[in-house]
Chain A
Amino acid sequence: MEDDITSYLDALKRDECYRVARVLKEAPHETTEVVYFAGANDAELGPFVRKRIKREACMGAAYAELLAAQRAGARFRHLPRIEDCYERDDELVVIMEFVRGETLHEVVYRRDPSLDLAREVFPQLCDAVAELHEGFDPPIIHRDLKPGNVILSRGCLTLIDFGIARAWREGAEADTASFGTRAYAPPEQFGYGQTDVRSDVYALGMLLYYLLTEEVPSPRLVGEGFAAPAVPVPLRAVLSRATAFDPAARYQSARDLRAAFEAACAQVDAAEGRASGGEAEDARVTPTAVAAPAVAIAHAAPELAPPEAPAMPGVPAAVVPVPGGPVSPAAASAPPPAAFETPGRRVLGFARIAIAGFLWVRLLLSGISIGVDPKPGDSLGAYAPSVRWIGVISIQLIFTALLYPLAGRGQLARILRRPMPRAGRTALVLTSVGFGLYALMMALNAALA
């Protein structure tokens, strides 16, 4: 008791030393900022993520548990390191490491959803959730697993945002507060019962579908057993069971789900006659050799403290993402990537932008010279300069529009097939306007000839 107030007062002293670099998210009950800890001599330590949660929201208990476990020596591969957790006025303040990387949302958008992506990401995701469940007694249930809360970087996966996570309480009939993102939350999170480990399994099922299709399944699709063309047949049973309405019908743990997923993938491979033997075996040797040291480095890097023996001997010794199957066309020149971001693809994308940009600038320069200095004997007569400008502008617009697909962020077919991302829409508008103007110019040319 005496220690409580002393540590509380010390925490308040530390609290004054933080400098806010930028605000990541501001909600009525919670603020998330990037902060630096200011020390002596104008030195700074950081960046850290600081979350300030209003006490009346009664959220954020999971952070304190995570901190206690980490201070006791537990090491987690997939959970952020909590630096500090204290109360201040009417807020709970959590300082944690700043996890760099892309969210799952961005990765799926950039790399396009596919079974290969799911093979890379999903086992790690299940391991991360299993770490959360098994590392604590009673297990911490995340309750807000969604693409925005999963960070991927250099072959590692981290779960963030435990704001609404809570420990499972025996005997509680329903959660006291219902939260979560509607699409990924299981039915019981809306008040039908208490959420437990299987609620996270439900969210994992939804995430698997997201990895395969970049969408959230409609209720009709769920009812039909996930019979979508993008979902391979063996995986449909896995998805159906993971997202069953009744928790008792789902997989009872994240590990079970992972095992079922891997079994289903093996079935897919066997069905398509690839990857289980022969040439694909050789193809796997190279990425594994490349991946192992990369993962080892990535594992050691985030921990500034001296390496300690992991507190969970049950964790498998080598969880190395082994990509299998055919390589996507864009990266055909490079060996299959071990990490989630491929330097080769990035370079290719930039090269495309550079070429398109160069063409654009060249055309602009020649267009200016045409518009300003029309050739004699022109059929357009007095209208010559302005009409020519229309042609010039229309060509510029078409080339600008080409920049978007050429930047490597998605093919035109994909842009047309589903709800367009902003870039695709802009590209389409520019192209249409460009062609329209060009047609107008041609018509004027013909009319005035």
Chain B
Amino acid sequence: MEEPLTEDLLAELLAAPSPERFIREHRVGERDLAGYLQQLLAEKGLKRADVVRAAGLNETFGYQIFTGARGASRDKLLALAFALNLSLTEANRLLKAGGANELYCKSRRDAIIIFALTHGYSLQRADEELYRFREDTIG
């Protein structure tokens, strides 16, 4: 789904009867998890099956996440972030879309995950590093 241009949104916001209704109608600040995942797949030119496999998720489970039938836990979302090779901003958006907390560098585990993401580690390598620093692994 293409996001409406900011100018269009602004014009509508000014014309809308009330801000609450506008927010509800356009779901400002909310992103649909399945929709965002599809968007990322399209942008990066990846196939859902490959991503699900790389993230180490069960096939059916992965399919259901991408269609929006189920939600995902924070760790599963992080696994998807690694599989999709996301940047830090995109990963944070994905987490927020899935209703989880964003990556916070003050938490030691999150800091290591941020480092791994920004340096392009694979999920496996990230797990190794997490294990080495005695934090809970993702996968």
A5 touches B105 (CB 8 A): no
A2 touches B118 (CB 8 A): no
Q: Which of B18-26, B66-74, B106-114 contacts A (4 or more CB under 8 A)?
A: B106-114
| A61–B87 CA distance with the chains assembled, in angstroms | 19
A55 touches B118 (CB 8 A): yes
Q: Which of A82-90, A243-251, A349-357 contacts B (4 or more CB under 8 A)?
A: A82-90
| A56–B132 CA distance with the chains assembled, in angstroms | 29
Contact pick for B111, options A2, A12, A56, A90, CB 8 Å: A12
A-side interface mostly:
helix
B88 touches A8 (CB 8 A): no
- B61 in contact (CB, < 8 A): no
| A90–B129 CA distance with the chains assembled, in angstroms | 20
A87 touches B118 (CB 8 A): yes
Docked complex: B110-139 residues within 8 A CB-CB of A: 111-112, 114-115, 118-119, 129, 132-133
A89 touches B88 (CB 8 A): yes
A2-B132, A55-B118 in contact; A9/B111 too (CB < 8 A)? yes
B114 touches A89 (CB 8 A): yes
| A8–B121 CA distance with the chains assembled, in angstroms | 15
Closest to B114 in A: A89
Contact pick for A89, options B105, B132, B133, CB 8 Å: B105
Chain B interface residue bracket vs A? 10 to 19
Q: State how many residues of chain A have any CB contact under 8 Å with chain B.
A: 13
| A145–B89 CA distance with the chains assembled, in angstroms | 33
| A90–B89 CA distance with the chains assembled, in angstroms | 8
| A9–B115 CA distance with the chains assembled, in angstroms | 9
A12 touches B105 (CB 8 A): yes
| A2–B121 CA distance with the chains assembled, in angstroms | 13
Task: Return the CB mask of A1-29 against B: 1 if under 8 Å, else 0.
Answer: 01011001100100010000000000000
Docked complex: B32-68 residues within 8 A CB-CB of A: none
| A4–B114 CA distance with the chains assembled, in angstroms | 13
Closest to A15 in B: B105
**Across the interface, which residues of B come within 8 angstroms of A2, CB to CB?**
132
| A79–B132 CA distance with the chains assembled, in angstroms | 39
A12-B105, A55-B118, A89-B114 in contact; A5/B88 too (CB < 8 A)? no
A90 touches B132 (CB 8 A): no
A2-B132, A90-B89 in contact; A8/B118 too (CB < 8 A)? no
| A16–B105 CA distance with the chains assembled, in angstroms | 11
Contact pick for A8, options B106, B115, B132, CB 8 Å: B115
Closest 5 CB pairs of A and B: A89-B105, A90-B88, A8-B115, A12-B111, A5-B115
9 A-B pairs whose Cβ atoms sit less than 8 Å apart in the complex = A2-B132, A5-B129, A5-B133, A12-B111, A16-B106, A56-B89, A89-B88, A89-B114, A90-B89
